[in-house]
Structure 1
């Protein structure tokens, strides 16, 4: 295990694409090498990455960034993506990557280490549970992107899937 370096960008993008195929979204990757390089190594990096290397070849990665909990009053670590090539699975590399990030949390006094997993990914869910991770089933993820993001930024509330067009304002619990 080691932190990613700029020379890893090409293989990291390939691994991201392989992850997208595994997660049944092969056409969803919009990231380019330039974008990934800027995110990890640009003037103001917004993410970090550790890689798993076997015989000089990068075969897995864990891409993460720092979060903040208002309730705990401390930073945390959000694992955006964890992926190990199928040929290297079952060798302990996924666990080693997670242990590396857990050590980052401990070293930096972060209050928690979180990530999400697709609900159909039973092997990953079992793996995470075996490490002591606890699902947060009471939370629902929301996302605003594309036209809805532009609309919200412009001050329009849009139409909700439930068919309401009401601005919840102070009533919303964020």
Structure 2
């Protein structure tokens, strides 16, 4: 069963984000707090949305998808960018990941969105095989670039001002 996340799910989502970060060998980068997630998902102006996968037999939450809208200037419509898709190891192979993706695809079709996109680590062969089995195609001609921390602060600080130290109190 797939359901829309509720505010009471924030601690669960936070825990699963940390589990995903550990799986991706990047737990040290997972700094989001429950408060930040609550604001992003359920604040006055939500920036993201989430769905929870529950085991059909037990009702136990076993996975989640966290996503937000993007926009294609070429197609002239929104799409969904899937930030995180995670199914707990004990529940993998039970159809929960496919059900989460099916729900996001359903939302795209219902709303007239023309893209459902996400990124996957190059070393994550099981996930790549799963996505390709659904008909997803890698976008090999594109590379992802990212500015964070000091580089982001340096580029975003007006010339002549001191560059803020990421994570430091202001």
**Superposition TM-score, scaled by structure 2 size:** 0.90
Residue 40 of structure 1 aligns with which residue? Answer: 41
Unaligned runs of 5+ in 1: 157-174
Residue 117 of structure 1 aligns with which residue? Answer: 120
What aligned pairs does 1:22-33 form with structure 2 within 5 A after superposition?
Answer: 22-33=23-34
Unaligned runs of 5+ in 2: 160-170
Deviation at 1:104, TM superposition (A): 0.5
Deviation at 1:50, TM superposition (A): 0.5
Instruction: Say which SS state the counterpart of residue 28 (structure 2) adopts.
Output: coil
**Superposition TM-score, scaled by structure 1 size:** 0.88
The partner residue of 2:138 within 131, 135, 139 is 135
Return the alpha-carbon distance in structure 2 between the equivalents of residues 112 and 58 of structure 1. 27
Displaced runs of 4 or more, over 3 A = none
Residue 19 of structure 1 aligns with which residue? Answer: 20
The partner residue of 1:105 within 95, 105, 108 is 108
Q: What's the RMSD between the two structures over aligned residues?
A: 0.9
Return the alpha-carbon distance in structure 1 between the equivalents of residues 104 and 84 of structure 2. 12
Q: Deviations over 1:20-52 (max 9, x none)?
A: 111011221101110000000001100000110
Return the alpha-carbon distance in structure 2 between the equivalents of residues 80 and 26 of structure 1. 16
Return the alpha-carbon distance in structure 2 between the equivalents of residues 101 and 134 of structure 1. 17
Return the alpha-carbon distance in structure 1 between the equivalents of residues 144 and 93 of structure 2. 30
Q: Deviations over 1:88-141 (max 9, x none)?
A: 000000000000000000011001100000000000000000000000000011
Q: Deviations over 1:39-86 (max 9, x none)?
A: 000011000001101223211000000000001111000000000000
Residue 157 of structure 2 aligns with which residue? Answer: 154
